[in-house]
Structure formats: C-alpha cells, structure tokens
Amino acid sequence: MVLAETTGPGGISDNAGREPRGAAAAGGTGSRVNFWTEALAPYARPSMSRSIGGLLTSVVPYLGLLVAMYYSLRVSYLVTLAIGVLAAGFLLRTYIVFHDCSHGSYLPTKRGNLWLGSILGVLVFAPFANWRHNHAVHHATAADLDRRGQGDVPTLTIAEYNAKPWRARLGYRLFRNPLVMFGLGPLFAMILAPRIMPRSPRPRIRRSVHGTNLALAVLIIGGCLLVGWRNFLLIQAPPALLAGSAGIWLFYVQHQFEDTFWERNTEWTYADAALRGSSYLKLPKVLQFFTGNIGLHHVHHLNSRIPNYNLQAAHDANPIFHDVPTLSLWDGLRAVRLKLWDEDARRLVTFAGARAATAARLSVRASSAQA
C-alpha cells in the first residue's frame, strides 16, 4: 500500500505517491502511515490546564527572574549573571511554547495560538507569522538535499564544498566554527535577522515583522527609560544570548549527527526525514525540562501537532519510535565537529574526514585510469 499524500506542517504537501520508507524501516509497510496517524492522534489534543501550567513554568518565572536580576545589580553582577543563567533556561522554555504555537499545537484554538504566539514573539524577538512560515518550510524539506536553504543549518556535500572557490570554502568554515555559530549566531539569528523584512513577503508576514519590531522598540525604549540603558543591557543580554546559543545548538543537533538521513528529492520521504533524520536527544531530566522536551524531535517531526508536554508519552507508548537515532548529551556536543555530508558513505563527516574521503576517491580514479 502506498501513501497517497502526507501533508506536513502548514498544509504543505510533502510526499505524493511515495512509499513511506521510514515507516517500513521501522517494521511495517505503507500501511504504517495509518498506524501513526491513529496512534498519535490522542497526543495531538492540547490540554488547557497543561498549557496554562506550561506558561506558569516558562514565561512567568522568566519575567520574574528579570526583575530579580535588576535588584541583584545592587549586590553583585556575579549574582546577576547567576540568576541570568536560570532566566536563560526559562526563556528557552518560553521559546518552545512559542514554537508550539507556530504549529497550532499549544492551545485548542487557532486564534488562541495566533495571539499567544504573537505576544511571545516579542519576548523571544521573533515575528510570529514570518517564523511560522520559515519553520513550516523546514518541516516540509528537512533532510532533502535538493531543497536546502530555508529554515535549516546550511550544509554542503563534500563535492559541493570542493567545487567552491577558496573564499566560499573559507566562509563556510567560519560559519560552521562553533565560536561563530554558537557565539555570534544568537546575535544574528535572534536579534538582527528577524528585524529584516523577507523578500516579497505576504501582507500577513509584513505586518508581523513591522508589528514585532514596533513592539520591541516600545519595550526596549520603555525599559531603558525605566532602569537605564546600561542596566537594561546588563539584565537582558545574558539570558538572551545564553538561551540563543542553547537554542541554536539544539536545532543543530536535532538533524546534524553522524548517521543522520539526507536524500535527493526523488528518494526523500517525510517519514524518513522524521524517523531517520531527526534525533532523539536524551538529556538529563532537568535539561529536558528547560528544553521543553524538544529533544524528542523524531516524534515532533512525525506529528508536529503534538504539544511539547505530550511528546514523551507519545514516544514511550509507540514502538515505531523505539529504534530511532538516539544521542546522549555528550554525543550532541561532539556532533558540532561534523561539517559536510558524504553522499557516498551517507554520513556527516568532519573536514578531516572529508579530505580523507576525497583523497581516497582520487586514488581510486587514478588506479582505474592506469588500469
């Protein structure tokens, strides 16, 4: 039985008339699609009480800790920074709630998700409609080698990297350097890039960008007038940059690991991208709390309508998720070494690994030519 159509986030058709090979790999055939649709449906129903509880354990403590940071300035900035680390954790949780709203999964109504997501977008510096669109594209194209470039971490194949001029290779190396990606990355990805209007935006996206920028301007100016610009920066910068770095790392490791899945469009399926190209990042419970269960990324990519507080239960109850790529915290940290996709070996490799693979292929070609 073949899958007639699998519709991804935002109504984007991801898979027309293709066998869901990821489901088959998990122990079934195309009929497995019906299995996950029916089996995951109970987990895709938001609970108002749990959603309110999520807000009380994300947005509320984050805002409260910002106030505590202000008063701690009178004591010691080391105390302020210590509180800022905790505030970063709750800001990251707030971002996960914002993320769920973009999928329409956090609250029972579309309007509720829209309004809550738009409000939280100001706290996380992201225009809701624009971010929602880009993220829907990410879900619809993740692990597709022919549809890279929007909503993902730029990744080249070895052949593409070798074909580029030295300036482009240098730029790619700098971009993939952890100091740049996780140090400067939050400043660009969270603060600067979202302020820029995308090309040919839809009116809704244009209003979202302008509205968020205006709200941020009012909030920042008001904050500076209230506590002084210096104190405002001392309070706001640490949690924003720490949460941004952690968020970029989470987004990176969810799809960038050695045995991940990438495929050309003719062979790509939505199921494979979810079950083979998305990791299960098993974190210590305290980190799982602050990251809002987003480490269960394989579940999220198979059904993005499951709110974060139901991801663990969905994983535990369904055997289809029990043989997915699993990473520890250490595995996730080591994954930042990986830079290029080796299409022959079908794995991500380091720059050194790419050089060795290129040398081996050249050697084989030379031997074949001599023969």
User: Per the domain annotation, does 203 fall within a domain?
Assistant: yes
- Distance between CA atoms of 72 and 65, rounded to whole angstroms? 10
pTM of the model: 0.88
Pairing status of strand 347-349 against strand 340-342: antiparallel
Sign of CA dihedral 309, 315, 317, 320: positive
Per the structure, how many domains does the chain have?
1
User: Per the domain annotation, does 139 fall within a domain?
Assistant: yes
User: Per the domain annotation, does 233 fall within a domain?
Assistant: yes
Report, as an integer, the average pLDDT of 144-169: 93
- Burial label for 90, CB within 10 Å (0-12, 13-18, 19+), is buried
pLDDT grade for 29, boundaries at 50, 70 and 90: very low
Residue 190's pLDDT is 87
Q: Which of 93-97, 151-155, 332-336, 363-367 has the lowest mean pLDDT?
A: 363-367
Structure tokens at 63: 């805002």
Residue 25's pLDDT is 38
User: Per the domain annotation, does 36 fall within a domain?
Assistant: yes
Report, as an integer, the average pLDDT of 294-321: 96
User: Per the domain annotation, does 162 fall within a domain?
Assistant: no
Residue 371's pLDDT is 60
Report, as an integer, the average pLDDT of 248-253: 95
> 362 or 61: which carries more pLDDT confidence?
61
Q: Which of 27-31, 62-66, 81-85 has the lowest mean pLDDT?
A: 27-31
User: Per the domain annotation, does 163 fall within a domain?
Assistant: no
User: Per the domain annotation, does 360 fall within a domain?
Assistant: no
HSE-CB of 175 using CA atoms within 13 angstroms: 15
Tell me what percent of the residues of the chain surpass a pLDDT of 90: 81
pLDDT of 318 strictly over 80: yes
Cβ-Cβ contacts under 8 Å for 251 (sequence gap 6 or more):
153
Q: Which domain range does residue 26 map to?
A: 5-157+178-340
Q: Give 11's DSSP letter.
A: G
Residue 15's pLDDT is 37
User: Per the domain annotation, does 172 fall within a domain?
Assistant: no
Report, as an integer, the average pLDDT of 85-107: 98
Report, as an integer, the average pLDDT of 272-276: 94
Residue 150's pLDDT is 77
Euclidean distance between the first and the last CA atom of the chain, given in angstroms as a whole number: 47
pLDDT grade for 369, boundaries at 50, 70 and 90: low
